[in-house]
Structure formats: C-alpha cells, structure tokens
Amino acid sequence: MAYFEKDIPRVYSTLFKMFLVIIPTFSLLIGFSSASTIHLIPHSHCDAGYRLSFDDYYKSQVHSILDSVIQALHEDKARKFVWEEVSFLSKWWMEDASTEQKDTLRELLSEKRLEFIGGGWVMHDEAVTNTYTINTQLSLGLDFLSKELNTRPKYEWHIDPFGHSLLMPELYSALQYKGIVINRIPNDIKQRMRETKSLEFYWTSPYSNASMFTHVLGEHYSTPTMLGLDTKERAESFVSTCKTRLSWSRTNHLLVPFGNDFAFFNASEHFSTMDKIVAYINSRSDDFGMTVQYSTLNDYFTAVLNSGASFPYVNGGDFFPYIACYPCLSERCNGVKGVLDSPCGYLIDDGYWSGFFTSKPSQKTLARKQNSVTFALQSLLAFSQTNDAHVLDSLLLCKETLSLLSHHDAITGTSFPNCYEDYDNRLMSAISSGLNSTAILKEIALCGKQVSLLSADIPNTLQKLNDDNVAVAVLYNPDGHNRSLYSEIDLPPSLCVQVSELSTSGELLSIPYQQVKDKVYIPGQFEPFGIKVMFVTKKTCSQEKQEGSNADRAMTLNNGVISLSFDAYNRLSEWSNSISKDDMEISVNFVEYFEKKAPSFVPHSVCDGTNVYTFVPDEGSKAVINDTTVLPIIQTASGPLMWEIQQNIPTDSCPIKIAYRLFKPINKNDLYNYFVEVQPTVGPLPDLRDMSISIAFNTNLNSKNSFTTYTSGFYPMSRVYEMDVPLQKNYYPLVGRAHLRDNGDNKAFVIATKRPMGVTANEGRMELLTHRRLQMLDDPRGDDTSIINDTMLLGLINSADVDSVSLHGMQQIQSPILVHVAVVENKEKWTTSCSTDSWSPFSQPMDDNIHIISVERLTASSTDSNHRIGMSKLD
C-alpha cells in the first residue's frame, strides 16, 4: 500500500488505497532482454454528436472516413484498423455502402485486419447513464454486428468518457470480453501509474468478484507528436517517445494509438505517411531496439497476456471526478508555470469535472422521460401479440434515440447548441412516437385490435369532456412487480372530475381519488406489467378552501404514518415515522454558487475555470434561507389521500419554489410508508452570471464523512467527503439514488431522483446540484435558460433495507404508471370494443429481490415466445 501512497497528493490518496498490488518485486525492475514490439492501433474517434449533429458528422466526415479506410486496408495487407461506433457503421452499411465495399469489409474481418471493438451503438458516458440505457445501446450495437457481420467484439475501447465507473469490469466480464482500454483518469493518478508500471491491471468488481484486464492509455488517444522535417527525424522522435512509454510498461509490448478525432478522412495518405516511418524503424530495429507493426486490440492484448508478466489488482473504486489539471502534466502549461508557484496558477484546486453531472439539466430530464417511455414500450411489446410495423419502427426509433443520447457528449450536456437542439428534437420525436405506439399496444391487449381511441395528449383530449360523455383512462405498470402506487392525470384548467371503475355488473362505481387544482391523484394496485381501465366523468366544481401564508403557527403534514413538522417560519424541521418509530431533525436550504472564470493569462485550452465539464465555485456563494427567513405558503392540500405544502423561497437571484407531499399508504407494505415526495422548481437562472443552484438537506444523522451513491443507479458505491480538498472534488454522479447512514442508530436517509445530477454529503447533510447556467462568451454550451421542475423522493428507512427500498423508490419515480385517455360518447362505446378492463402477462409477480433491467421479444414474430430478459438479484 505504501508503495502507491508515497508522495501522492492528499486529494487522491483514498483512491490509491484501493490498489492491491500482487506482483513479485523483480517484475518492476527487470529489463527487456529482447526487442520491444510497438503496436500501432489505427483508429478514428468519431463522436456521435458534439460540435455538429450526428447526421452532419456522418455526411461531412464519417461517410468518407469509412469509405477511405476500407480502400486503404484493401491496398496493403500490412495495414489494420479498429472501429468503435456502431451507430455510424450501421448508417453507412444500410444506406451507402456498395456491395463491393461490404464484401471487402467481410474479407477484412476474416483476415483479422479490421476489428470491431466495444460494440456499442456509441461510446457511452459512464457517469450519468443508467443500466437500462447502457444495456440498450450495447444490445443495439452487438445485435447489428451479429446479424449483419456475424462478429462479436472481445475488447472495449473507452478512451473519451469523462471518468470511468466500476460498472466497466462488472459489465464486460459478464459479456465475456477479454480486456478494456480506458483513458480519462485523473492526471496525477495516471502519473503515479506510469511511475509504478501500473497502467495495466486487473480491475475487480466487489459485486461479483469479476476481474477485467484493463489498460490505461499513458497519454492521449491521438498519434504521438513526431518532430522533424523528414522521415529519419520523425522516426527518431517516435522512437524516443516509445522508449519513454516503454519505461511505464511491465512488458516489451507497447500500445500506441494511431489516430485522433475524425482521423483517416484520407486513409491512404494517412497510412502512407506512417508506412515510411514504420519501414525506417524496422530496417534499423537492432539499433532502435524495437519493431513497429499495425495491430488490433486482439493482437496487443494477446501478446501482453501471453508475456508472462504479473499485473496489479485494483479492488473496487472508480475514477470520479476526473481532473485533467492536478497537477497539469501537459507541455501546454509551460507558458503559465511559475504563476503562484503551481503548474496551473491558482487553478490548481479547480478543474474537477463534476459540473457535467448536472449540466444541461433540461436535456437530462427529457432523456430520462424518453428512457421511461422506451422501457414501457419495449416491455409491453415483448408480451404483445402483434407485428404492427408502426410499433416495431417506433421501438427501433426509441432504442436508437436512447442509445444516441448515452453518448459521452450527449447526456453529459457538453455538446454545442446545434447538436444539443438536434438531440432535443430526436428525444421529443421518440417520446411522441413511443407514447403513440404504447397506446396501440394497450388497445391490442384490451380490445384484441387497434381501435384508435387512446391518446397521450391528456389535457387537450380531456378538453372534450363534458356532461354528456365519458373519458376512459388506461393505466400501464411498466414493472415486473406488484405495485401499490398513485397515478397522476393532468387536467385542463377549471375541469373537475369524478373517477370510477367498472363493476362486475357493468356499472360505474366511484373509487378513491383526490383532485388538487389541475391534477388528479388515483391510488391503485397493479399486477406485473399490468393494465387497468378507469373512467373519468365531469362534475361540478366545489369551492376550494383557500389557505395562505401563516407565519405565526407551526404546521404539520401527516398521512397516518409519516409526520413532517414545520416551524413558525414554515421551514421543515422534523420527520417522524409511527411504524418504524424512527425520527430525525431535517431542514432544507438552497445554495447559490457563483462560478469562477479562468484568468486572462491562462490559455483557454489548459485549465479554464468553470465550464460545462467543470464545477468551480467562486467567492460569494451563499445559502438562500437564513435563520429569520419566512417561507410564504402558496398552496396546501389536506387529504384525504394527499397532503401538500407548496412554498416560495425568497431570493433575489431567480425564482425558486418547493412542494412537500405525503400520500396515504395503500397497504402496509407499500413505499408510501417510507417516502416523502419533494418537488423543487428552480429557474430560469439570471443573466450575466455563471451560476449553479443546489438543494441541501440537513439532518441530525450521524453519518460522519461517508455517504453512498449507486453506479449507473444500481451498484452501491461508498464515498468519503474529504475536508482538505475543494468542494467540487467531493461531488459525485447521482444516478437515481443516494443515501446517508446513521453510524449510531439503525437508520438511513435516502434520496431518489428522476434524472442524474451531482451530489455530495457530509455530517448528516446531503446536497444535490440541481441547475446550472453558464454564459461564457466563447462557449455557448452552458446557457440553459430552462425552468427545472424536479421530483424526488426522500426516505427515512431501516439501514438494513436501504439498497432494496431505495431501488424500489427509484423505480417508482423513474417508471411511473403510464396513462392514456380517450373521450367517448358513453362507457358502452368503450366496453363494446374492449371487453376486458384489466390485463397482465404474468400470473405471478417477480420476487422483490429480483430487478428487471430490460425485457424484449427476440424476433418480430407475434407468436414467438422467445424473450430476452435482463435481470439482477439483490442480495
């Protein structure tokens, strides 16, 4: 352990403690007795959207790159190439590749000179993507490669995501990959790995004890700079670089990337230039002590793993947040060295890439909605008896859009405006198509055929509701468990309704519901992947009880199990649970962070303060609510099914509201016994300042400096808040849920969210970065003017149940009941066409400790009973 900790900055010493080195001492010291082999890996990193949209990149660059590479490989048997992004390959293959090009590509595959690596639709982000999205984009890419080319990748090439997660060894071990290549890890960690010859290691998952051989690029994924005016000088420069990099290796095999972003536009010329350098070095291999060859990842990993070298094991741990400038090891920093006695001036404590966990929150919200719609459509189609072409096309559109948005410059919020707008348009189109197709599948399930009545445009459809007709609401549970939860139906303004179910005799029977202004809440119990029908009729509106601000008395929300107490200033102060007998002190605040710009003397390309990637708080950041702040109440509800308080948060910077809701438990085991719904609404953020807003939950739990996030929303990941590092270093990706444990009592505080964002916690306080707006003159990517209306669940639960209960809480908020409505003349109009009022494909629910990640029918056949179900057991 001490070997890795020696001279390591405190900022990352905790991560180094996760390294378990299992190597004989001699393997660090032994020299290479034979010539080294330099494996040039020709590649082109083609972002599926960044400065340009996906389609614009394809038309302007990628189409020509693929044409050019196939031709260049065909010209010379010594040349090889690796390709990652299946989305571009699929478009080229299906739309533009000639028969001759397809035949050539197949020949190159059989000769093992062209290798597909990764196999995903895109190179997905690892910080804020969830398991379903990752599974979808991998399945989409791997299915294409299998179907069209009868090939399956063995290696992953994840060279550009902004940090790397512990899902990597878990996922790719399960897929039986043999090795992965990663790149963006903190520079000081990478430097220590170089010094200790530990850029290659076995990365072990604590969840299954699976290990994956992992290679960290010692430098960037671009071709090394070769100085000189002729082949001799450039070759000697290349040899010098390789010798330096070989000093970081435990073997005499060296992986050297040959390529860059959108490289090989003219592949023949690109290869020809390198061919001369390769030939020059190989003709003098005895003098240089090395030979150079074009290789695939299979060539390289096979050579390394057969070398007999021993490699360290890394048990657990991930590489978040990424930092590219601590200390800045790039030669680009030479121009500012000496400023304030640090390589990057006063930016030495800045530059942590924790901002993109939250950046573009509006697009992250839209992407998660599309995620929910896609899963609902996919699961319903899996059990449907239909081959409807529109539905199948819609599912493909939804899966391709979901996969595209998992790209590391999409869901991260780091793309440029024209690309961002293209992503948004794709998301909205996929959501609309998915909802329409889900309506068709609901009708087929209930009516045996499409009857073209149901609509997802609920408020506009219900505008037609009057005293002489009736609305049908069809509700779908996109989950493999029995669920007891509330459905929500949005109403047009000024409409009051009655909710009923059909009795066994065919009459409408009123059921419990509660309307609060333009929304109606309906409790229900749903079977696995089940559908229920309800009827909505218009009724005369009664006079609403008006309750305004009241600063002279304390208030309470109570659903019979959970009690929330508010003080005389209307601020949340206490939480208690009558069943578990747990209680805690709790308060809520918002923090305004003004963010720091880089000084004018620092090159923009080095460490430029705050941006869409980084989060760099400046002086002047402050909490919004102080000891004397009164929170005006703007709306209340007092049962019988839902209790609510909505408040304005006084601030000069931007509008902020917050709502607290309790729901009456439907049965003794449902989640409403544990969770409170909280809805903060923030924005738009003001002009002229780079600013972020967080929401902070302060409790009296004795959590010390530890908290837990969940990798891709699924695997628990312990975090430690470090007091002697900047705040932004202590922010981690929150994907769906996080929690604090009390170190004395057996209880935990849980938060479940709809969308990803940054989170940190310390001493009973959990803080979520909810909104950002950056207005840099030379970089328009961060200018998000939206109003962010979040919904999250807060839970106080037994710490022994925290993983399973928080998972179901996350599912509840991210996979709500999906509602479609139709307005018909009378109930007979519906019951004549659709004789059943409920449907479920399962006779028994899944066990509570089984989580379904995905479910789909393997072929388009409506009679096919062959399904692919991704699931995981929660111990």
Per-residue model confidence as pLDDT tens digits over 49-93: 999 999 999 999 999 999 999 999 999 999 999 999 999 999 999
CATH at residue 290: 3.20.110.10
Using the predicted structure, report yes or no on whether residue 858 has a pLDDT greater than 50.
yes
Residue 330 binned pLDDT confidence (cut-offs 50, 70, 90): very low
**319, 339, 370 - which closes a domain:** 319
502 and 570 assigned to the same domain: no
- 209 shares its domain with 283: yes
Backbone angles phi, psi at 191, to 5 degrees: -65, -40
Name the domain boundary from 270, 288, 319.
Answer: 319
**pTM for the complete prediction?**
0.92
Q: Is the pLDDT of residue 1 over 90?
A: no
State the sign of the Cα–Cα–Cα–Cα dihedral 307, 311, 316, 318: negative
Assign 697 a pLDDT band (cuts: 50, 70, 90): very high
Q: Residue 544: what pLDDT?
A: 59
Percent of the chain with pLDDT over 70: 88
Q: Are residues 537 and 632 in the same domain?
A: no
Q: Identify whether residues 204 and 303 lie together within a single domain.
A: yes
H/E element, 99: helix 99-110
The model's pLDDT over 708-726, given as tens digits with 9 standing for 90+, comes to 999 999 999 999 999 999 9
Q: What pLDDT sits at residue 600?
A: 54
**pLDDT tops 70 at residue 5:** no
* Domain co-membership, 643 together with 755: yes
- pLDDT single digits (tens) 392-407: 999 999 999 999 999 9
Kindly tell me if the per-residue pLDDT of 609 is higher than 90: no
3-class DSSP assignment, residue 100: helix
Q: Enter the DSSP assignment of 671.
A: G
In the predicted structure, residue 328 carries a pLDDT above the cut 50: no
Q: Give the other-Cβ count within 10 Å of 382's Cβ.
A: 19
866 pLDDT band (50/70/90 cuts)?
low
Residue 129 lies in a domain: no
Tell me what pLDDT residue 238 has.
Answer: 98
Identify the band that residue 346 occupies on the pLDDT scale cut at 50, 70 and 90.
Answer: very low
| pLDDT for position 847 | 79
Q: What is the pLDDT of residue 22?
A: 36
Task: Name 296's Cβ contacts closer than 8 Å, sequence gap at least 6.
Answer: 41, 80, 81, 82, 112, 113, 114, 115, 117
Q: Note the pLDDT of residue 471.
A: 98
pLDDT bin (cut points 50, 70, 90) of residue 283 is very high
What is the mean pLDDT of the segment spanning 99-126?
98
**Domain span including residue 528:** 453-544+826-844
Whether the Cβ atoms of residue 118 and residue 181 lie closer than 8 Å to each other: no
Q: Which of 424, 455, 458 is closest to 437 using CA atoms?
A: 455
Q: What is the CATH number of the domain that holds 681?
A: 2.70.98.30
Which pLDDT belongs to residue 670?
A: 84
- Determine, yes or no, domain membership for 549: no
Q: Calculate mean pLDDT across residues 826-846.
A: 89
Number of folded domains that form the chain:
3
* 692, part of any domain: yes
- Classify burial at 838, counting beta carbons within 10 Å of its beta carbon; exposed 0-12, middle 13-18, buried 19 or more: middle
Percent of the chain residues topping a pLDDT of 90: 77
> 441 lies in a domain?
no
pLDDT in tens, 712-761: 999 999 999 999 999 999 999 999 999 999 998 899 999 999 999 999 99
Please report which confidence band the pLDDT of residue 371 belongs to, taking 50, 70 and 90 as the band edges. Answer: very high
- Looking at the fold, whether 495 and 559 belong to one and the same domain comes out as no
* pLDDT at residue 835, rounded to an integer: 84
Residue 7 has pLDDT above 50, yes or no: no
What pLDDT shows up at residue 29?
A: 39
pLDDT of residue 123: 98
Range of lowest pLDDT (408-417, 644-653, 854-863): 854-863
Closest CA to 738 of 785, 695, 688: 695
SS3 call for 786:
coil
406 occurs within a structural domain: no
Pairing type for strands 36-45 and 290-294 reads: parallel
3 HSE (CA, 13 A, CB side): 13
Summarize the confidence of residues 195-210 as an average pLDDT: 94
Name the pLDDT band for 869 (thresholds 50, 70, 90). low
User: What's residue 331's pLDDT?
Assistant: 44
Q: Please determine, for residue 846, whether its predicted confidence score (pLDDT) is greater than 90.
A: no
Q: Which of 252, 286, 319 corresponds to the end of one domain?
A: 319
* 491-542 per-position pLDDT tens digit: 999 999 999 999 988 899 999 999 999 999 999 999 999 999 999 999 999 8
* Predicted pLDDT of residue 213: 98
Amino acid at 323: I
Whether residue 409 is contained in a domain is answered as no
- Residue 329 in domain: no
**Mean pLDDT to the nearest integer, 862-868:** 52
Rounded to whole angstroms, the Cα distance separating 594 from 616 reads 8
Residue 546 has pLDDT above 60, yes or no: no
User: 442-455, pLDDT tens digit by residue?
Assistant: 999 999 999 999 99
Same domain for 289 and 190, yes or no, is: yes
- For 122-160, what is each residue's pLDDT tens digit? 999 999 999 999 999 999 999 999 999 999 999 999 999
Query: What integer is the mean pLDDT of 230-245?
Result: 97
Question: Is-cis flag, bond preceding 632, omega within 30?
Answer: no
- pLDDT computed for residue 44 by the predictor: 98
Do 164 and 237 share a domain, yes or no? yes
Please tell me which of 24-28, 313-317, 567-571 the model is most confident about, judged by mean pLDDT: 567-571
Output the pLDDT for position 782.
Answer: 75
Q: Where are the beta strands (DSSP E) in 385-439?
A: none
Residue 14 to residue 84: CA distance in whole angstroms: 33
Q: How confident is the model at residue 385 (pLDDT cuts 50, 70, 90)?
A: confident
Q: What are the DSSP calls for 230-246, one per residue?
A: SHHHHHHHHHHHHHHHH
d(CA 26, CA 847): 52
Kindly tell me if the per-residue pLDDT of 27 is higher than 70: no
User: Looking at the structure, do residues 519 and 567 belong to the same domain, yes or no?
Assistant: no
Same domain, 808 and 834: no
Per-residue confidence band for 554, with pLDDT thresholds at 50, 70 and 90: low
Q: What pLDDT does residue 335 have?
A: 40
> If pLDDT is split at 50, 70 and 90, which confidence band does 854 have?
confident
Query: Is the domain of 580 the same as that of 533?
Result: no
Average pLDDT, the chain: 89
- pLDDT of residue 42 exceeding 60: yes
DSSP states along 461-502: HHTT--TT-EEEEEEE--SSS-EEEEEEEE--TT--EEEEEE
- Pick 601 or 583 by higher pLDDT: 583
Please give the distance of CA 234 from its chain centroid, rounded to a whole number: 42
Does a structural domain hold residue 638? yes
- pLDDT exceeds 90 at position 373: yes
pLDDT at 672 over 90: no
Are 312 and 459 contained in the same domain? no
pLDDT per position as a tens digit, 208-226? 889 999 999 999 999 999 9
- Calculate mean pLDDT across residues 837-865: 74
C-alpha 215/C-alpha 157 separation (Å) is 9
Split at pLDDT 50, 70, 90, the class of 778 is low
Query: What letter would DSSP give residue 341?
Result: G
* Residue 217 neighbours by CB distance under 10 Å: 21
Maximum mean pLDDT: which of 5-19, 403-417, 598-612:
403-417
